[in-house]
Amino acid sequence: MYQLQVQAWNGYFCGTVEIYAGIGDLEKKAQVLQGFPNSPSDQRELMFGTFDPKIAGGGVAMRFHCTGGAGHAHVKVRMNAGYKSAGTVQSTLLSMAIEASAVDSFVHELLSLEQHNAGVASLRGLPQR
């Protein structure tokens, strides 16, 4: 198992969660995401960890999709810390515009993490308008 720290920030909202992924999971996620976007209707989903409150850890769900006829790429990120603070499960939901080249870099970095068992994978968003 890998212990991962996932941070997401779109310029307005942010969140951090620690999750667990099995050996081989990062490579599988990278394969799902390779080549995104290939059309204006392309959609991909990745999930790391779990959103089940009965299981330790947290979850991250990423929905990659396109908007408009030109196929502008976006990612919607939902995070759940998986533990209660003052009786409330901590969570974040945010969206940001991305470029295909940023997705390609993210895929490459996920594969590198899997290969080297250490490192950072970053998905860079476009500045908010």
Q: Could you give the number of structural domains in the chain?
A: 1
Q: Let me know if residue 127 belongs to a domain.
A: no
For residue 83, tell me if it sits in a domain.
Answer: yes
123 is a domain residue: no
Residue 122 falls inside a structural domain: no
Q: Which domain holds residue 109?
A: 2-116
Asked whether residue 31 is assigned to any structural domain, the reply reads yes
Tell me, yes or no, whether 102 lies in a domain: yes
Residue 124 lies in a domain: no
| pLDDT of the residue at 76 | 97
Question: pLDDT tens digits, the chain, 129 residues: what are they?
Answer: 888 899 999 988 899 998 888 999 999 999 999 999 999 999 999 999 888 877 777 899 999 999 987 789 999 999 998 766 666 778 899 999 999 999 999 999 999 999 998 899 999 999 876
CA–CA dist 29, 26 (Å, integer): 5
CATH code, 40? 3.30.2450
Instruction: Look at the pTM and tell me if it is higher than 0.85.
Output: yes
Residue 128 in any domain: the answer is: no
DSSP H or E run through 65: strand 59-67
What is the per-residue pLDDT across 83-111, written as a single tens digit (0 to 9) for each?
Answer: 666 667 788 999 999 999 999 999 999 99
